[in-house]
Amino acid sequence: MESIQEARERLPIFKAKAEIIEAVQKSKTTIFVGETGCGKTTQIPQYLLEAGFAKHKCIAVTQPRRVAAVTIATRVAQEVQTELGSKVGYSIRFENVTSPATKIKFLTDGMLLRESVEEPLLLEYSVVILDEAHERTLNNDLLLGISKKAQKVRQEQSMMPLRIIVMSATLDAQHIAKYFNNAPMYAIHGRDYSISNEDDGDILVFATGQEEIDYLVSETKLAAMELPIGIPKIHALGLYAALPSDQQIDVFKPAPKGARKVIYATNIAETSITIPNIKYVIDTGKVKAKFFNSVCGFDVLRTQAISKAQAEQRAGRAGREFDGYCYRLYTKEQYKKFKDQTEPEIRRFCLSRHSSNFKNGISNIAEFFIEKPQRCDFKTFNIEASILLLKQLNAVVDKDGNLELTEDGKKMVTFPLDPRFSKMIITSSKYKCTIEILTIISILCVESLFYSKSSERETFNEVKKKFEAVEGDHIMLLNVFRQFKKFKGNPGWCEENYINTRNMRKAMHIREQLKRLCAPAGIPLCSNLCTMKIRKCLASGLFMNAALLHEKNTYKTVEGNQEVKIHPSSCLFKKTNLSCVIYTELVLTSSVYMRYVTYIPEEMLVSVNQKYFKEKPCRLSTTKPQIFANNH
């Protein structure tokens, strides 16, 4: 049986080990381009560790996705022959498996972004490796600018130098080299195995989203039951970002004896992660991408054709451990019409969650990015709307052309959350309902707490009524949490009430993490069952997510005047006399729907931010704020 060291030496990248180390020593910024399967993600951090680059500090390796950070760290820890969390560890949202001994730290790009807010010079690290740069995620683009600035300041102040390594699986990296003052680029040739036809092996199918994947898994299981005797059994699994991590890990486990795995996955499986025993890839040529509508203020998920770069990445999944084969469900003519590269997220996403990273004296935000947001003049950039949101939340102020965090803003960045959620936590100390707000936010951070089959929809709707609240969905979530704790998460009770136990326990874990973050921010853990105060605290973060009754069952948003409806899953869905509501998010299906909706009197809403509503062309501009008694 091949040893771990023999497997490492067999990788195409091993032949270039000396050249890689020399390249990093020569230049403060280096770009490595190597196709999927060459070994760059797992091996380059180890080469740098062996060469002494982590002698006094740590090597950071970013990944776009949680599952990639965890699985790659696990593999590298095995190769380094250390316990995970010791010399090699990982850090993802609400989970930190590192120690003072950690020298190679895999982390999501979002986690490194959060660290950069607290420590803009990234002083914990001697090397920052930004992996999967070809995906052009918003987080990665931000990190390019942040690490470049940190590198420059550390050099100017004669501090320990920061080396930056950018890794990409496609050759279209010249724009990155130019951004880093024409940094040298190196190509790593070869892959571990070719892509060809073999008889045995598991199958990876690229699909577009959770609903489609759940359907395909269900149909495959039904079809597998009718296979003739003698045909290998099918073990169907799904893989998508919203899937609980313990279920994501299932795809990495061997198939049952005598069975073949068929994995239906979103583009989460395109890069970095290696699912064992995949020989066949079926590429549908489609992907579901998120676009932010800056006029209406909500995200739209849209199914579209993949890029040529994505097509190559998907094919590469078939040649990670042995020769494989890729079936493409589109013609050559269709392929020719694909874009060469995936459109960067910076052109598609809302930037409000990331704008707090600009506190560090960045005066020209448009020039900070490797590529300007959106496509028009700066006045129409999503970033302008994002910064306006942060100003409305009193998170940042503009001082002499530089954005700086306010005292509230400094507290808000303590929490790895949407700034609107962070604002609620800050305000909760005023209304003495921090525990209730943390509970609601924690539940909103996971997928739905309820689950039901379509055949049981009527029964589910009846059972759900016991949790519903006249105030709306956010209070309903509190009711579910309290009952779950009362019955101590009893499996029988959860099944009877259609409660997703895994998601509820995940929410409880997040809640504990957020509670621990409150003390450093100076927020006392108070509890208050007054739903009026809880709703007012919710509105302190969601006041821009307000809608006024327009016609029967139809509302118009205060921000953007968008016509919206209450989502059918809401406990307020059939209510017709609600003059004003706040919501957590908007989704577009057959109509634009508000999800997680709470009724709030107009006077109460206006009292949260009088200045904001006074400037709005709606009836709230003349509404008098409610006087809220302290002892209510």
- 80-133 pLDDT, tens per residue? 999 999 999 999 987 899 999 999 999 999 899 888 877 889 999 999 999 988
**pLDDT(353) > 80:** no
Strands of the 95-97 sheet, one edge to the other: 95-97, 88-92, 104-108, 58-63, 125-130, 163-168, 29-34, 185-188
Give the angle subtended at the CA of 614 by the CAs of 613 and 615, to the nearest 5°.
Answer: 90
Helix crossing, 138-156 with 109-118: angle to 10°?
40
Highest mean pLDDT among 240-244, 320-324, 462-466, 498-502: 462-466
**pLDDT(247) > 80:** no
Lowest-pLDDT choice from 218-227, 363-372, 418-427, 586-595: 363-372
- 127-162 pLDDT, tens per residue? 999 998 877 787 888 899 899 999 999 999 999 999
Lowest-pLDDT choice from 26-35, 37-46, 270-279, 457-466: 270-279
Partners of 97 in the beta sheet?
90
Average per-residue pLDDT for the chain: 84
Q: Which residue has the higher pLDDT, 504 or 34?
A: 504
Could you tell me the pTM of the whole model? Answer: 0.69
pLDDT at 299: 62
pLDDT at 174: 79
| 453/155 Cα distance (integer angstroms) | 59
| 548/618 Cα distance (integer angstroms) | 9
- 191-201 pLDDT, tens per residue? 555 545 446 78
Q: Which residue has the higher pLDDT, 531 or 417?
A: 531
pLDDT at 363: 47
pLDDT at 360: 44
pLDDT at 128: 96
The continuous run of DSSP H or E covering 313 comes out as helix 308-316
Tokens of 245: 């991590």
Tokens of 60: 């950071």
Q: Which residue has the higher pLDDT, 303 or 235?
A: 235
Q: Is 169 exposed, middle or buried (0-12, 13-18, 19+ CB in 10 A)?
A: buried
**Confidence tier at 348 by pLDDT (50, 70, 90):** low
Instruction: Give just the sign of the alpha carbon dihedral 123, 127, 131, 136.
Output: positive
Tokens of 622: 């003349």
**pLDDT(342) > 90:** no
Scanning 134-193, the segments in alpha helix (DSSP H) are 138-156, 174-179
| 211/250 Cα distance (integer angstroms) | 19
| 115/130 Cα distance (integer angstroms) | 15
Lowest-pLDDT choice from 227-241, 346-360, 549-563, 617-631: 346-360
